[in-house]
Structure 1
Amino acid sequence: MTQTTVPTRAPRRSRALKRDEIIEMFSRLRELNPHPKTELEYSTPFELLIAVLLSAQATDVGVNKSTRRLYPVANTPAAILELGEEKLKSYISTIGLFNAKAGNVIKTCQILVDQYGGEVPASREALEALPGVGRKTANVVLNTAFGQPTMAVDTHIFRVSNRTGLAPGKDVRAVEDKLVKVIPDEFIHDAHHWLILHGRYVCKARKPDCPQCLIRDLCRYPDKTAT
């Protein structure tokens, strides 16, 4: 009786990237951009806090246009309180949801003056207690202004993490927790910026630019674009 040999398939790669692949991924991103920075313009932790607060459902370009006009006039909690909510609105009126954001900025400035001597606190609990400041905003400020190893997950980072297999997750918090766990310490501080820039300019939502992607051989995305 002749024995039939069943051809074996090549083993499929795991959906999630392995540690050596993650190290390779961030090594390449670091080589391309050794010192990544946020595209929001700021010079102090307070300016960053307000810019991030204003950036919800708005573009960095749009926020920068407003803060370039606002900050030369008022760039401290006391100065913005003196400016007042109605005048503040005139500086940020081109930003989406500016009415609600102006109210939150004024309330935040009042708390900073009353409770923190006009300084931005460097703790998650204190930041998240500020009006209009959620976990993502707090993570950006803690990481960018204070150098803490936090991970702010926006739509770009959520998409890149799931597509590549870096940190697959069903929701933002699940992805955040995985990213903090799997990204090596040497990369964690700048990882937020590398991932958001990669999602914004390469791994785009509608049509990712896979041919120009420097990590395409590591990426687990099954529907890579050819052109």
Structure 2
Amino acid sequence: MISVVTCLLTSLAYRTLIGGLRSGILRAVVYKVAAEQFFLTSLAVGCLGSSVRIHLLSAVMSVGSSPEPLPEITAAVSFLSGLLRSRLSEQQLQGFGGALRETLIEHYRHHWFPDRPAKGSGYRCIRINHKMDPIISKVAARIKMSNLLGLLPKELTLWVDPYEVSYRIGEDGSICVLYEASLPRGPLTCKSELLGCSSVPSQYLMMVGS
């Protein structure tokens, strides 16, 4: 009886773990370690077939030794770094980019929903409105740079959502797309869903496609 229950729980855990490994934001060291331990446990229990164990092992091996930034995070980092390129030294710029990348990975880790791109958009949004966004403030503290607010636009909104990264400078500025990927379901983009639109606004300017 115990073996049957163990096998059922192992199979459920397997499906959950594979799903986590496949979602980009979860591809971190902690999941690799957990997957390795699970693989060894499944061998000991003997519940999973050989083909399933091979599948799991392949998934484990595909996860790198460090978190792999999502293309959306890479686009956001490149954009904000570009705004500072003429105002910081190359060393400062690299420090800012690296700290921002790590901060965004941490901040989005449990707030990234590829099946519902608009969910958590407000949480992920970077907003400067004459005062510093908490995410940027955290980056500034990491690199010990207190003057970032004076180097960035006074009014800036950066949306970082699954499949799309876009920004707006000024309250009445156009929304410009930095990164866009095709959604797995439906033509409604996360930004049009967030704004309650049934179609893309006319002022929606494509800057970079993917």
Structure number with higher relative contact order (C-alpha < 8 Å, ≥ 6 residues apart): 1
Q: Same fold (TM over 0.5)?
A: no
Q: TM-score, normalising length from structure 1?
A: 0.29
Comparing both structures, which one devotes a greater share of its residues to strand? Answer: 2
